[in-house]
Amino acid sequence: MKMYILLKDTLPEGFAVLAAAHSSLAAYLKFEDSPETQEWVSGTFYKVICRVNDKEFEKAKEFDDHVVLTESALGNQEVAIAFKPRKEWPKPFKFYKLYK
């Protein structure tokens, strides 16, 4: 089980750290009662954090079970998407760049 968090690649590093932390919590709170989240949190609760461009970000919003986060200090711009934990992921998730 993994939770994916996608951060926009234009996001300044300091905001990226905050967005990743907030995304994890927001997704947990939104999906905490789901069986998948309960299974995820009872184990090692892996998270994969990736950087995506604007096109990938918009396309990712089409996938189910996610929460989009905004940053008030950046004019309420959408900065991250966090997805409910799951075992199997759509093909595009294999190609997103890991955040390093």
36, part of any domain: yes
pLDDT tens, residue by residue, 34-88: 999 999 999 999 999 999 999 999 999 999 999 999 999 999 999 999 999 999 9
Contacts of 98 (CB under 8 A, 6+ apart): 48, 49, 50, 51
58, part of any domain: yes
45, part of any domain: yes
99, part of any domain: no
CATH number for the domain that contains residue 74: 3.40.1490.10
Question: How many domains is the chain partitioned into structurally?
Answer: 1
Q: What is the pTM of this model?
A: 0.95
Q: Give the structural domain span for 44.
A: 2-87
26, part of any domain: yes
94, part of any domain: no
